[in-house]
Structure 1
Amino acid sequence: MKRVLIDDRLLIEELTVGIGIEGVAYATSMYWYFRACRAAVLGAGGHLSGPFERIGTTRQARAIEQLLRLRDDISLPEPRAAVSTMVGVASRHPRLNLLNIEATAAALDIADVVWLSPKASEGVLPAVLDAEGVRWRVHHIDEPSGPDDVG
């Protein structure tokens, strides 16, 4: 089964609507998970909290509950291993912020490929992933996906 690291926007998409690709095990970073939870609970209609405001109140409550009690089939990095990897990433990329350090470490430790939302792909992370030899791709939320779409 392909292990795919998804960013905060894609995590929210998976929990509100579903990305739904067979043969894929999703994971996310702790920081992306925190940002998604913060947006769901405290958000004000921005890029991360907007999807929760666009669904009905019953689905919204269920999605927020699913997010706060992250499904067992969405994994997170193990903190002890992640910190060690993060130190290595930070030493190779000293100007990188904590979000990107942790995302890169998670990609190195627990993922076969990283899916970034279009917005995340516009930042510095793609170049860092390339430098670290991590496979990644942009996953457009509104694009249909199939079983071969995990690379």
Structure 2
Amino acid sequence: MPATSELVIVDDRLLIEELLFGLAKGNDVALCTTFYWYYRACRAAVLGAGGHLSGPFQELDNDEQEQAILSLLELRNDIELPDSRPTVPRMAQIAKRHPRLNLLNLEAVAVGQLTGATVWLSAEAAGGVLPDVLDQEGVTWKTVRIVTD
């Protein structure tokens, strides 16, 4: 990856969008996600339920759907995952300041702090508690809207 690429952390919905349709096309970014967001994306692909995470898989025919699920279960090497050794202690520190924050959000904040990356949130995630905590913890974030045809 080019040294000038901006590192961004994508949430579960944006990870699915990247793997199915190419979210980062035309952007000079290096992608990262969290373990929890990666797990939720895989779970949605495998189990499905018709929600905002699994909905994109239902729109695919059977062969495309199978290929899309495999792309999640065998995550591309160019999408980074965090190192748990520094992440877990940072999560514990953040939890002291935000005791009601769930693991998904604790991990996102910790990875954002440790990497200095911008967190890209889907519209659904941007409507939750995470943006306020990211602001409080000094982590840059932005909403990335998924354009559908």
Question: TM-score normalized by structure 2?
Answer: 0.91
Question: TM-score normalized by structure 1?
Answer: 0.90
Query: Offset at 1:22?
Result: 3.4
2:9 corresponds, among 5, 10, 34, to 5
Partner of 1:16: 20
Partner of 1:146: none
1:114 corresponds, among 79, 101, 119, to 119
Q: In 2, are the aligned partners of 1:77 and 1:109 still within 8 Å (CA)?
A: no
Partner of 1:148: none
Q: How does 1:2-81 map to 2 (within 5 A)?
A: 2-19=6-23, 20-81=25-86
Structure with higher RCO (Cα < 8 A, 6+ apart): 1
Q: How does 1:76-91 map to 2 (within 5 A)?
A: 76-91=81-96
Query: Offset at 1:111?
Result: 4.5
3-state SS of the aligned residue for 1:3? strand
Q: In 2, are the aligned partners of 1:16 and 1:60 still within 8 Å (CA)?
A: no
Counterpart amino acid of residue 91 in structure 2: M
* In 2: Cα distance, 1:70 partner to 1:49 partner: 17
Q: How does 1:95-134 map to 2 (within 5 A)?
A: 95-134=100-139
3-state SS of the aligned residue for 1:119? helix
* In 2: Cα distance, 1:21 partner to 1:102 partner: 28
* In 1: Cα distance, 2:104 partner to 2:117 partner: 19
3-state SS of the aligned residue for 2:123? coil
Give structure 2 stretches of 5+ with no counterpart: none
Counterpart amino acid of residue 66 in structure 1: S
* In 2: Cα distance, 1:39 partner to 1:49 partner: 5
Give structure 1 stretches of 5+ with no counterpart: 144-151
Query: Offset at 1:95?
Result: 1.3
